Chains A and B, each alone.
Chain A
Amino acid sequence: MTKPMYRGETPKIIALGAEAALIKHTFLGMPAVYKVRLPKPYRDPKLDLRLRSERTATEAKIIHDLRLAGLPVPALYYVSLSEGLIVMEYVEGDLLRDLINRRVSGYADLVRELGKVIALMHGLGVVHGDITTSNVVVREGTPYVIDFGLAKYSNELEDVGVDVHLFIRAVESTHYDVMEEVIMAFFEGYASIAGEERVKEIKEKVREIRLRGRYVEERRQKRNK
């Protein structure tokens, strides 16, 4: 890649995610995150390259599209497919997960805002693929959605349903003690953008997706109804 202009700050690994290493640094003087999809030694090298460059391209395009549509996502600075590299804005703030765990006042409002953002995103034909409360950074009261590593373009109810299902499941495992409140706030926010009808449709889809899993008690009850 072209050498970015470093201004003082030393690069710092902020996360070694499953998918990529995230390095905090600067880009043309602005605080930036370098997201590098590193080769995985457990994957066949050809499969590895295919997955890394496809995902880098899709992620960059989606972040860019959403940002241009005015949604709270990081701004895109630089992309290199062959290196699996994306440089983007560093969003300074707290993880929504931590705010909920600390029970900061108004956490339900933040989740409601998140519901709005996700509804707008779905309205633009993008599904995130990994909506969890650790993938939301709150900066000045605005929930920024990050990590579009598994995002894709789709308008299909199935994909929207999976997106919402993943969020609910993450809340159930991470915030099991306040999950009802969190899930309700999410749907309130979502409905304020997409409408109650659409939320009903999505909830029905989510239910269907959950019943597909194995050994689900509810499935038998449904069959016996």
Chain B
Amino acid sequence: MIILGIESTAHTFGVGIVKDEPEYILADVRAKYVPEKGGIHPREASLYFMREAPRVIAEALQSAGLRMNDVDGIAVALGPGMGPCLRVGATVARALSVYFNKPLIPVNHAVAHIEIGKLITGAKDPLIVYLSGGNTIIAAFVAGRYRIFGETLDMPLGNFMDTFVREVGLAPPYVVKGMHQLDKCAEESKEKKILNLPYVVKGQDVSFSGLLTAALRLVRSGKVKLEDVCYTVREIAYSAIIEVSERGLAHTGKKEVLLVGGVAASSVLRSKFEAMAALRGVDVKVVPPKYAGDNGVMIAWTGLLAFKHGITVEPERAYVRQRWKLDQADVPWGDP
């Protein structure tokens, strides 16, 4: 069985092609929208997607050495994400599905991050820590769904980090050579000073908006070194994430942690996770940077799992769902 998957929830228009036996991944082509300044502008991103879509699809098929007729189904990320971006992927997928008479498979983007992580790392029944620009979620599979045990009460970690470095003039670009500007700036702190900034953990939830406001105020006061603020902010934000993850482990009794999403690529964060996991005697599995960010392969792979469990959608009913939460998606294949 061969599935073609389309990702277009935020900054990346990606097409992946997978099959249900090793080597699994047949094609992975992406077009990433990089704003000149500021954050993602959904309309700009969607216009970019429209220009790039035909090329990306053609290249994916070509690199897999396949034609559309060889494909058994079209999977598409219908949410969560930015409306204009999602609609490009959905429109393209519906068109392919109808024109080539292929089943259309709806995929939840958050579930896809988890499934590709499980495929590549071999994690079986992990506590999932999903960190990206738009998501900060601690989840685990229980009875047919990925249930949320902790999340952010306001800003996602990635958005928090991006906003902070942008506001203090360090970005864009947000990530240079695989290192986030916040990590880079924090590493320059010689004294590793911990300034008086708020650390907010509520149960299994984190909150970053108060930290952002206080940190920006501190930078603007001009009384402290920027790198010391970066260091404090980074230590507080990462520690809070690890703390809620550790709570999630204690609560669920899971024996492995799976880090997924774009922010999982941070090596500083990973080493902190490893320190925590060693303490608790659990394994840490991290999606390698190549598949940590948004891509079409994860959509194709999740689509394949879904298709095998009979999940399809009629093209005329394949609406995008901007707020399709992780725990609203059925995962009939999820039993470890």
Contacts and interface: CB of A to CB of B under 8 A. Distances in A.
Contact of B275 (A41, A51, A172, A213): A41
A173 B250 contact: no
Contacts of B202: 129, 150, 162, 166
Interface residues of B, number: 49
Given A217-B325, A220-B323, A43 B239 contact: yes
A18 B323 contact: no
B150 to A, nearest CB: 9
Interface string A207-225: 0010011111101100000
B205 A214 contact: no
A224 to B, nearest CB: 12
A83 interface: no
A150 B108 CA distance: 33
Contact of B235 (A19, A43, A132, A134): A43
Given A18-B246, A43-B239, A212 B153 contact: yes
Nearest to A159: B202
Given A50-B194, A173-B147, A217-B328, A42 B239 contact: yes
A52 to B, nearest CB: 12
Given A18-B246, A217-B328, A47 B239 contact: yes
Contacts of B261: none
A13 interface: no
Interface of B is mostly: mixed
B154 interface: yes
A41 B272 CA distance: 8
A16 B250 contact: yes
A40 interface: yes
A142 B58 CA distance: 67
B194 A41 contact: no
Contact of B143 (A44, A46, A176, A212): A176
A130 B194 contact: no
B291 interface: no
Contacts of A215: 79-80, 322-325
A44 B272 contact: no
Contact of A41 (B236, B279, B321, B325): B279
Nearest to B246: A18
Contacts of A70: none
B204 A166 contact: yes
B235 A47 contact: yes
A173 B279 contact: no
B250 A17 contact: yes
A170 B149 CA distance: 7
A150 B201 contact: yes
Contacts of B249: 18
B251 to A, nearest CB: 7
A42 B275 contact: yes
A103 B70 CA distance: 52
Interface in A178-225: 209, 212-217, 219-220
Interface in B156-174: 156
B247 interface: yes
A18 B243 contact: yes
B2 to A, nearest CB: 31
B247 A214 contact: no
Interface in B114-139: 134-135
Among A16, A17, A43, which residue has the most Cβ atoms of chain B within 10 A? A43
Among B239, B251, B272, which residue has the most Cβ atoms of chain A within 10 A? B251
A131 B202 CA distance: 10
B192 interface: yes
A213 B151 contact: yes
Given A16-B280, A162-B205, 20 more contacts: A18-B249, A40-B242, A41-B279, A42-B272, A43-B235, A44-B231, A47-B232, A129-B202, A130-B203, A130-B247, A150-B203, A162-B203, A176-B147, A212-B153, A213-B153, A214-B156, A214-B323, A215-B324, A217-B328, A220-B323
Top 7 nearest A-B pairs by Cβ distance? A18-B246, A215-B323, A18-B247, A42-B272, A166-B203, A215-B80, A42-B275
